[in-house]
Structure 1
Amino acid sequence: MQDLVTVFGGSGFVGSQVVRALARAGYRVRVAVRQPARAHDLLLLGDVGQIQVVQANIRNMASVARALDGAQACVNLVGVLYESGRQKFMTLHTMGARNVAQAAREAGVRRMVQISAIGADPDGASKYARTKAEGEAAVREILPEAVILRPSIVFGPEDDFFNRFAAMAVLSPALPLIGGGKTRFQPVYVGDVARAVAAAVADPAAAGQTYELGGPAVLTFRQILEMVLSQTQRRRFLVPLPFPVARMIGKACGLLAMTPIAPPLTADQVEQLRVDNVADPALPGLEALGVRPTAVESVLGTYLYRYRKGGQFAEPPEAPPIGATLA
């Protein structure tokens, strides 16, 4: 069995797949999470004793240092899509990333993979984009050899994007085309992101590099919603929603962040939708890490079927969804 890799935030949607990929590659994996009791199912992703779950909070340097004790590499996946309580963008994306990098350097851990996001920009309109960029800068300042991975929207069985609109299509007669639905995305499969992380940990040539991870197709927001409707076999109106109106709705929905209910939209997310979420061709991507991108069409039906009438017993879509006019 190979080196020990500490994974911060390994119990989430992407994190659990990263833990699985690292275990399959033969690494010992220490999963550092705030609530270990909710992460013990991760132990089943590897051989007996290969995966360990420990308590750590990246806001607390002492717990980060304990989680890195004896590790040869680390991965930081901690992030939030909206602010709630003490889970703030600045606290987690910027200060948390700095804490992990600082503790890694002090522990002699030189291989670090920082998960950021396409669109990370110190001058971005959204706080999410700015704090992601600040986190990258903090990590690179402390560990210049760290690897930064920026995925586009990540899809898979537990994603928060395709599932959200599929669930909305079940209940609502219309879906919102925020900003007219022209924003472009390059959806990337969660399994591909996980394999990219494992490759970045293993490959010395990846040190100091920044990768932008996107799938094989670039889709507009309208095309994505059409694809969701096709896969869920729902006919719904696609209603254009101007950015100013969407922002007001996002502000109102953002009040849900003070409750246990996740807001369907926030004003900060509307700002993110103003900018295309597509990989920069000037930067290396999945292929540079030896990962062949997975097409979104080949995976969506394996989990969006549950939103069809009849669920798993419903007939699958007959025609490719892209370009179909369902509104």
Structure 2
Amino acid sequence: MNIKKVCVLGGSGFVGIHLVNKLAMAGHAVRVLTRTHEHAKKVAVLPGVEVLEANIFDPAELERHFAGMDAVINLVGILNEQKTGRADKPLAGRGDFHEVHVELPRKIVHACAASGVKRLLHMSALKADPGAPSAYLRSKGLGEAIVLAAGMLPGEDESAHPDGSRFIDGYGLDVTTFRPSVIFGHEDSFLNKFAGLLKMAPVLPLASPDARFQPVFVDDVAQAYVSSLNNSATFGQSYDLCGPKAYTLRELVELVGAMIGRKRKIIGLSPRLSYLQAWFFECLPGKKIMTRDNYFSLQVESVCSAAFPTVFDITPSALEAVAPGYLVESSPYQGYRSAAGR
């Protein structure tokens, strides 16, 4: 393949900014779809990048903006819902996770097929599964299944689908999905959040302190996308992406404290108290620091069973080698903003 023109959904977000930059530097013409130009200021100045305002949930707009593109990359995702729902409800009552992680990928697949785009790359999540304990991981699992099913040919055996059911008709698209653990890097919402909390509080009550993660550097994730774009060996594949080392949540928070010079007393909460803390934060107004669904996600280890996929020829960066450079540079004001989820 010789992919030149790439349309990116979620190109103004944390991963998107890094990916769009790498695509532009590699000589690709990039079209970024965003709600407002204001959200995409950081990528609008890059060479070869076109920013268009669009309603990405409108199938007609997707088809129009995908026309003439060689590939589509979907990075759109949310960690918390403003509008919750249930899977047994009509579409309008299934909540934000279903709309963003399930119905949007379905619309993207249809729009790719209708506009003649053959290549589709999709962001899922490590341990995403339709049977996972959290609505977040369940919705991510369903969305990933839709994308992978779209890579099958029309009429292929239904038994080839992840759970034996037909999520969507096969379109024969060249699809690749990525399943990263928690992603870290400059302006991330994970390590920076804990840095902000440690700067504010002398004691930190920590929910699910033994939850395990294998953080992966945002540049490594972005490079995996770029490396995959023209590589036919990645078609129809799903890749787990992790850094070189796994940590408990307590270990990560202690590490962040050491990096920013804020050693604090960390009180690990029991499962019951962790759930109650999540419920309390969920009830607070404004952007959510934590919810009960986040708590359920923490019960699943976000750790890879194998090393970083060799097909990308990437040596994953160690958190200890990267994080001090941006955590230490952050101002106290930025720390407070991160802790508040702003």
Change (3 A) 1:118 1:30: same
Check whether the contact 1:147–1:208 (CA below 8 A) recurs between aligned residues. Answer: yes
Check whether the contact 1:196–1:286 (CA below 8 A) recurs between aligned residues. Answer: no
Gaps of 5+ in 1: 312-327
SS of the residue 2:280 aligns to = helix
Counterpart of 2:312, as a letter, is L
Match of 1:269 among 267, 285, 294: 294
- 2:77 maps to 79
Cα shift at 1:85? 4.8
SS of the residue 1:39 aligns to = helix
- Counting only pairs closer than 5 Å after superposition, residues 146-161 of structure 1 correspond to structure 2 as 146-161=175-190
- Counting only pairs closer than 5 Å after superposition, residues 189-268 of structure 1 correspond to structure 2 as 189-256=217-284, 259=285, 261-268=286-293
- 1:316 maps to none
Counterpart of 1:177, as a letter, is L
Check whether the contact 1:167–1:307 (CA below 8 A) recurs between aligned residues. Answer: no
1:107-127 superposed Cα distances (whole Å, 9 cap, x missing partner): 121111010010201111100
1:245-276 superposed Cα distances (whole Å, 9 cap, x missing partner): 222222232234xx5x3211111111111111
Pairwise CA RMSD: 2.1
Cα shift at 1:307? 5.5
Cα distance in 1 for residues equivalent to 2:263 and 2:314: 35
- 1:17 maps to 18
Cα shift at 1:41? 2.9
- 1:296 maps to 319
- Counting only pairs closer than 5 Å after superposition, residues 7-156 of structure 1 correspond to structure 2 as 7-45=8-46, 47=47, 50-85=48-83, 88-144=96-152, 145-156=174-185
- 1:170 maps to 199
Check whether the contact 2:278–2:290 (CA below 8 A) recurs between aligned residues. Answer: yes
Cα shift at 1:221? 1.2
Cα distance in 1 for residues equivalent to 2:71 and 2:308: 21
Check whether the contact 2:221–2:241 (CA below 8 A) recurs between aligned residues. Answer: yes
1:269-300 superposed Cα distances (whole Å, 9 cap, x missing partner): 1111111101132xx73432122201101111
Cα distance in 2 for residues equivalent to 1:304 and 1:82: 24
- 1:317 maps to none
Identify which range, 169-178 or 2-11, moves more after superposition: 169-178
Check whether the contact 2:244–2:318 (CA below 8 A) recurs between aligned residues. Answer: yes
Cα distance in 1 for residues equivalent to 2:272 and 2:104: 32
Cα distance in 1 for residues equivalent to 2:309 and 2:36: 31
Aligned length: 302
Check whether the contact 1:69–1:107 (CA below 8 A) recurs between aligned residues. Answer: yes
Gaps of 5+ in 2: 85-94, 153-173, 335-342
**TM-score, structure 2 length as denominator?**
0.83
SS of the residue 1:18 aligns to = helix
**TM-score, structure 1 length as denominator?**
0.87
Identity of aligned residues (%): 35
